[in-house]
Homo-oligomer: A and B are copies of this chain.
Amino acid sequence: MAEPRSSSSPARAAVGEVCAWIDAQVSSLRAEDVPLVEAGGRVAAADVAAGFDLPPFDRAAVDGIAVRAEDTVGASPYSPCLLRWVAASDELPVGGAAQLNAGAPLPRGADAVIALHLVGREAGGAAAITEPVAAASGTEPRGCQVATGNTLVAAGRLLRAAELGLLASAGWERVAVVRRPLVRCVIAGAMLETARSPSRAQVYEASGPALRAVVERDGGRIVEATAVARDRASLRDALLRPGADIILVVGGTGPGADDEAAAALAEAGELVIDGVALRHADSAGLGRAGGVPVVLLPGSPAACLLAYEVLAGRAIRRLGGRNGALPFPTRTMTMARKVVSEISMAEVRPVRCATAGSVEPVPPITEIGLMALAGADGFLLIPEGSEGYRQGAAVSVYLYEGYDCAQP
């Protein structure tokens, strides 16, 4: 019969120290070229400069008629200036008016565009202008958006619709982005044993689908998620297999006799942080093996997810060139009820929206596990020096959907 291993409580690293270690150890992966249509949500790996002026020629800013501004001098409602309709071509004759769509190049000689609804139509077919126009009005001069050589999109920018549209306008069909971090999940602590009763009482593996969702949200890709035997040698071998940019070990982090994740990491490479002062996830650890960062996550599904959010997600976001900070909008809200937190440990505390602008804690993770996270609208990150917040206190809330809580 195995007896418990040493019960000494190791000094746990503060969350801030762990984040600083991650920031020092983990930086952007190298770049890869991808087609623009697949680049949404990726991060620009380098500045992209305009190869030509945008727009590349003087053009109409509105649907209208191209004119020579000097032809309209003196026009008034009582004495309209009459211009002759001509087909749009390379050059606009003196006294002519050529219809253009917005975006079409100005003919030579034309220097203004008058919107269609300001143009009258005379019986004889002439265009009647009732107000003089200034040169350049209704036009976009060549290069007014971006001049050749200027930056279109800066390195590190998350590519959203506007950036992609801009790059396409500037003639790019591909763009250099930071490579997506490849993530291997090694499931060591899953309680997959079949329980004795009731018959359906199997404890299902919860971390796989959950981790996939957060890894993809953070720009990573799970290339392998495999359960391995809980012994030290199996875990060590899994840590030494190449092919990933970061390895997450799930489970095997506790003080139990068969909790070998930390020992396996120490053998495979370097166990730098063994225990984090983060409630529910205090058995988490970090280090390196085979040249890549390794994060040890507790096996309990709620604890695993918390430790992912605060620790592993930061590393994955940084590998992918993103901001390491938690990817949730924050809003200052009021505590509808008090919340108590153990001093000396940081704590992720799920909350739900109460009345507009206020939040209340949901039943704790120790009581309802993942239900606490699944039923929440967001969470507090209570620092280790805080004992919690009184009712009515202003708190900074990380919101899962920033637009739900305050905008019913």
- From B36, B103, B205, B217, A209 is in contact (CB under 8 Å) with B36
**Minimum C-beta distance from A106 to chain B (A):** 11
- Contact of A257 with B196 in the complex, beta carbons under 8 Å: no
Known: A171-B200, A204-B171. A323 touches B212 (CB 8 A): no
Query: Is A33 part of the contact surface with B, judged by Cβ < 8 Å?
Result: no
- Contact of A323 with B373 in the complex, beta carbons under 8 Å: no
Query: Is A125 part of the contact surface with B, judged by Cβ < 8 Å?
Result: yes
- Contact of A57 with B195 in the complex, beta carbons under 8 Å: yes
**Minimum C-beta distance from A208 to chain B (A):** 7
Q: How far is the CA of A54 from the CA of B372 in the complex (A)?
A: 13
Q: How far is the CA of A89 from the CA of B383 in the complex (A)?
A: 41
Query: Is A169 part of the contact surface with B, judged by Cβ < 8 Å?
Result: yes
- Contact of B254 with A370 in the complex, beta carbons under 8 Å: no
Query: Is A51 part of the contact surface with B, judged by Cβ < 8 Å?
Result: yes
- CB-CB under 8 A from A389, the residues of chain B are none
Query: Is A24 part of the contact surface with B, judged by Cβ < 8 Å?
Result: no
Query: Is A23 part of the contact surface with B, judged by Cβ < 8 Å?
Result: no
- From B86, B158, B164, B257, A401 is in contact (CB under 8 Å) with B158
- CB-CB under 8 A from A86, the residues of chain B are 1
- Contact of B117 with A7 in the complex, beta carbons under 8 Å: yes
**Minimum C-beta distance from A136 to chain B (A):** 12
- From B8, B51, B63, A254 is in contact (CB under 8 Å) with B63
- CB-CB under 8 A from A374, the residues of chain B are 152-153, 162-163, 165-166
- Contact of A256 with B116 in the complex, beta carbons under 8 Å: yes
Query: Is A371 part of the contact surface with B, judged by Cβ < 8 Å?
Result: yes
With most chain B CB atoms within 10 A of its CB, the pick from A160, A200, A330, A367 is A160
Query: Is A287 part of the contact surface with B, judged by Cβ < 8 Å?
Result: no
- Contact of B403 with A85 in the complex, beta carbons under 8 Å: no
- CB-CB under 8 A from A121, the residues of chain B are 3-4
- Contact of A400 with B160 in the complex, beta carbons under 8 Å: yes
Interface string of A20-45 (1 = CB under 8 A from B): 00000000000000001101110000
- Contact of A403 with B327 in the complex, beta carbons under 8 Å: yes
- Contact of A367 with B144 in the complex, beta carbons under 8 Å: yes
- Contact of B55 with A210 in the complex, beta carbons under 8 Å: no
Q: How far is the CA of A382 from the CA of B327 in the complex (A)?
A: 27
Q: How far is the CA of A294 from the CA of B119 in the complex (A)?
A: 31
- Contact of A402 with B330 in the complex, beta carbons under 8 Å: yes
- From B51, B168, B217, B326, A210 is in contact (CB under 8 Å) with B168
Q: How far is the CA of A209 from the CA of B119 in the complex (A)?
A: 36
**Minimum C-beta distance from A360 to chain B (A):** 18
**Minimum C-beta distance from A224 to chain B (A):** 13
Known: A63-B254, A374-B153. A403 touches B325 (CB 8 A): yes
- Contact of A161 with B7 in the complex, beta carbons under 8 Å: no
- CB-CB under 8 A from A165, the residues of chain B are 206-207, 209-210, 301-302, 305, 370, 373-374
| 26 interchain pairs, CB-CB under 8 A | A1-B86, A1-B99, A2-B99, A3-B99, A4-B119, A41-B217, A57-B197, A63-B256, A102-B254, A105-B195, A116-B256, A146-B368, A152-B371, A160-B217, A161-B211, A161-B213, A162-B374, A164-B213, A165-B206, A165-B302, A165-B370, A171-B202, A171-B204, A323-B401, A323-B403, A325-B404
Q: Which residues of A contact B (CB under 8 A)?
A: 1-5, 7-9, 36-37, 39-41, 51-52, 54-57, 61, 63, 65, 85-87, 90, 99, 101-105, 115-119, 121, 125, 140, 144-146, 152-153, 158-171, 189, 191, 193, 195-198, 200-214, 216-217, 254-259, 299-302, 305, 308, 323, 325-331, 366-371, 373-374, 376, 399-404, 406-407
Other than A1-B87, A161-B210, give 12 A-B pairs with Cβ distance below 8 A. A3-B99, A4-B65, A7-B117, A37-B208, A144-B367, A162-B210, A165-B305, A165-B373, A171-B202, A326-B403, A329-B399, A331-B331
